[in-house]
Structures are given as C-alpha cells and as structure tokens.
C-alpha cells in the first residue's frame, strides 16, 4: 500500500488516487497542510498499482533531450505580457491550443482565492483563470483521469503543471499520446496551501473585507521587484515587493513552508520531464523595458514540443539563447537549493496562533540576528586558523 511506503517522500501529485481501480485512496492533510495518501484497507485489493506507478517510488526517468533548444521569448500582446508571471509564453501556447479546438489543463485559484486546483478547460475564460503562477500546491485530484479520457477520444490537450505533476501524468498514461503536449516550469519548490490560506485570512482581517483579486509577482513596480498585489471588495489594496512581502521572505529567503519532498526533487533537472519547459530568463540584460515587462526562458525538449512551439510563434517574440546563459541566471533549472529552513517546525506550530506575516518576520528576524552574531565568531576562527597555520577551509 502506497501510504506504508511513501512517507514524507510523497510529492502530493495525487495521481495514485486517480489510479486506484477500487477508489480506495483518499488524501489527508498533515499539520503543515500538505496532503498524503491514506488507503482504506477494506477496499484495497493489494493490486500494488499505486506503488508500481508512483513517480517518486518508481523513480520516473526524464526522457527528453539532454540539450534542449533554448529561447528567450515573450508574448507580443503587451497587456497579457504585463499580466503574466514571466513573459507570457504559457498564455501564447494555451491560446494556440484553443485555436486548434484543443483543451488546456492547468491550475486555477478557488473563488475565495484561498486554495488552488487543476481544471481542464477549453475557453478563453478558462485560460484567464489558468494563466499566472500560484506559488503553493495545486489540488490535482481527478485531473489525470479527465486528461486520459479526452486523449482517448482523440482530443488535443495542453497540460501544464509542476515537474512532479508532469512525471505523474506520464506514469498514469503509460504511453505516448501524439495529441498531448506537456509543459512544466523551472520550479523552486511548492509551498503549503495552509500557509497561503493563513496569509489570505490575515490580510482579510487586516483590511476588513474579502479578497477580490490576488496576484503573485505583480509587475506594477516591474518584473524584478516580485510584487504581490491583493485587492479587497471594499476598494482597499495591499502591495508589497521583494523587500517588504512576508510571503516572499518566507518562500524565497527562508524556505519556511515548502513541501518537504521538494528538497530532494528528482524531476527538476535536465533532461526535463515535459515537451516544453519555461521559467524566468533571469540573468539576461534585456534593457529597462524588458526588465520591467518580463522575459520568459523557454526550453523545447522534444520534437513534439518543437512542432507545437513553432505553431505558437506568430503570437510570440522569440530569439535563440544558450542553455549556459539560462543556467547562469537561474539556478533552479538544475535543482534549486530548496533546503528546508530550521525554523519550519516553529512556523507550523505557531501558524494557528499568530498572524502569518508577524510569524514569518519574527522567525526570520531571529535567523538574521543569529547570522549577525555568528559572523564575527567565524571571522575570528578563520583568522586564528590562518595565524596557527591551519589554512583556509574550502
């Protein structure tokens, strides 16, 4: 049974739930708000499928090219580019799929902005909900089954998700489908849905109204500022950036609420798991205008991916780049250093008792102080080693 073998290595893709022929697998959340499989022993017939197909236990191999075609690109529609997380390449791919009467499967916010899930859509209205990054885990229950049913009917489909969700889809399908294009992104790691909910609830309490719109990496102060814009039904708004946002501090600076399995992710690497991968083209100086509007890194990993990317080109500005340049600016392409913070236990122990932002800044302040105290000690130690001939430690 999957629950007895997977433990904290589970990436939360939920594919085993779709796979179980007896519907014996449900999911329970732990105190960090991450879901893990739970098997009903009375319904389970010990077929072993959940273990055999689990992308983590099976160690699914990424089977695409070792040297993908690399481009720097952005969507030509200025409005969509500004609204997108990076350069809007995902939107262009999805629009191309819709123009071909195909389906798009991706992640949307819930109506109250407190959670996210994967849906399968085929309209522009669906695309308007799917584009833009939601930096916490999306609930994918049922999506693998829906995708397979459509592919079996001969429908074309563009799937987008984390590298592990894409590996799960590959395992679930068990064979190549010409009518499927898979996309993933450079993934730093996925955060706790409970942490996101706590953040939204704190903001609603502070502003005295429900959230009307929630936008990670909002570009009103420029792409590189990592803005976070939240508007409320009473007309108020909250804007923070990379220097002031509690969410960004807890995610990027401290890794306080990342899924434990992300630390040892096997899927975020080259070769990639999907036909096309995208991310931010950090490290490339595109001039002030492009740095404000955002530039996407695109890695075309398979022949199928190349064919589809070419069909999307009329909607894009795209220029060839090198993998070396992409990697130099974006360490997360080859497995991000997504170490889990020492204080994550304290974070989750206090999340129900303290406001999200206060808690993040309180814990992080403690760490900053420790770093400051340690610094003179380590400098003194290095000096002593030098004086006593111990040499520098590499």
- Nearest residue by C-beta to ligand FAD? 106
Quick one: DSSP state of residue 139? B
**In the numeric block, which tokens belong to residue 374?**
């340690």
For residue 366, the SS3 value is helix
Residue list 179-198, contact with ligand FAD (CB under 6 A) = 185-188, 190
Q: How many Cα atoms sit within 13 Å of 77 on the Cβ side?
A: 14
Q: Which is nearer to ligand FAD, 135 or 309 (CB)?
A: 135
Quick one: DSSP state of residue 191? B
- Burial class (CB within 10 angstroms; exposed 0-12, middle 13-18, buried 19+) of 311: middle
Which residue stretch of 144-152, 236-244, 273-281, 365-373 sits at the interface with ligand FAD (rule: CB under 6 A)? 273-281
Contact by Cβ (8 Å): 139, 84:
no
- The mark string for 328-367 relative to ligand FAD (x by CB under 6 A, - otherwise) is --x-x---x-------------------------------
Contact by Cβ (8 Å): 38, 3:
yes
Nearest distance in Å: CB 250, ligand FAD: 14
Residue list 67-86, contact with ligand FAD (CB under 6 A) = 84-86
**Bridge partners, 238 (sequence order):** 230
Rounded CA separation 321/183 (Å):
19
**In the numeric block, which tokens belong to residue 335?**
């497995």
Which residue stretch of 11-19, 277-285, 308-316, 369-377 sits at the interface with ligand FAD (rule: CB under 6 A)? 277-285
Nearest distance in Å: CB 231, ligand FAD: 19
Nearest distance in Å: CB 296, ligand FAD: 5
Q: Which is nearer to ligand FAD, 289 or 392 (CB)?
A: 289
Nearest distance in Å: CB 280, ligand FAD: 4
**Bridge partners, 35 (sequence order):** 29
Residue list 99-158, contact with ligand FAD (CB under 6 A) = 106-107, 116, 130-135, 138
- Tallying the residues shown for the chain, one arrives at 394
Rounded CA separation 222/353 (Å):
35
Residue list 202-241, contact with ligand FAD (CB under 6 A) = none
**Binding ligand FAD by CB under 6 A: which of 33, 87, 193, 227?**
87
Which residue ranges make up the site for ligand FAD (CB under 6 A)? 84-91, 106-107, 116, 130-135, 138, 160-162, 185-188, 190, 278-280, 296, 330, 332, 336
């Amino acid at each position: 049974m999957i629950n007895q073998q997977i433990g904290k290595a589970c990436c939360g893709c939920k594919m085993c739930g779709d796979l179980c022929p007896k519907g014996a697998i449900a999911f329970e959340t732990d105190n960090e708000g991450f879901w893990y499989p739970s098997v009903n022993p009375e319904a389970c017939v010990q077929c072993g499928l959940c273990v055999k197909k689990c992308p983590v236990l099976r160690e699914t191999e990424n089977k695409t090219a070792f040297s993908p075609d690399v481009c720097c690109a952005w969507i030509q529609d200025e409005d969509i580019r500004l609204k997108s997380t990076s350069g809007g390449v995902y939107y262009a791919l999805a629009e191309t799929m819709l123009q071909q009467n195909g389906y798009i499967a991706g992640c949307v916010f819930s109506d109250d902005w407190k959670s996210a899930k994967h849906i399968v859509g085929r309209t522009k209205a669906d695309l308007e909900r799917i584009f833009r990054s939601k930096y916490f885990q999306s609930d994918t229950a049922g999506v693998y089954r829906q995708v397979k049913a459509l592919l079996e009917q001969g429908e074309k489909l563009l799937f987008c998700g984390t590298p592990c969700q894409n590996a799960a889809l590959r395992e679930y399908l068990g064979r190549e489908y010409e009518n499927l294009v898979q996309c993933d992104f450079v993934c730093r790691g996925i955060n706790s849905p409970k942490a996101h909910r706590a953040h939204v609830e704190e903001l609603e309490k502070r502003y005295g109204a429900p959230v009307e719109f929630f936008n990670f990496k909002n570009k009103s102060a420029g792409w590189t500022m990592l803005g976070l814009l939240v508007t409320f039904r009473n007309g108020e708004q909250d804007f923070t950036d990379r220097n002031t946002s509690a969410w960004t501090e807890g995610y990027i600076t401290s890794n306080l609420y990342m899924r434990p399995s992300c630390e040892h992710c096997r899927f975020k690497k080259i070769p990639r798991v999907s036909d096309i991968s995208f991310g931010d083209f950090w490290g490339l100086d595109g001039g002030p205008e492009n740095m404000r509007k955002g530039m996407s890194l695109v890695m075309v990993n398979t022949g199928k991916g190349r064919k589809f990317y070419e069909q999307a080109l009329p909607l894009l500005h795209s220029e060839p780049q090198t993998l070396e340049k992409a990697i130099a600016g974006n360490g997360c392409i080859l497995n991000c250093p997504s170490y889990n913070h020492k204080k994550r236990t304290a974070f989750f122990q206090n999340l129900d008792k303290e406001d999200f932002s206060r808690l993040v800044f309180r814990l992080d302040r403690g760490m900053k102080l420790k770093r400051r105290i340690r610094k003179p000690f380590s400098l003194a130690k290095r000096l002593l080693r030098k004086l006593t001939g111990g040499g520098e430690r590499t």
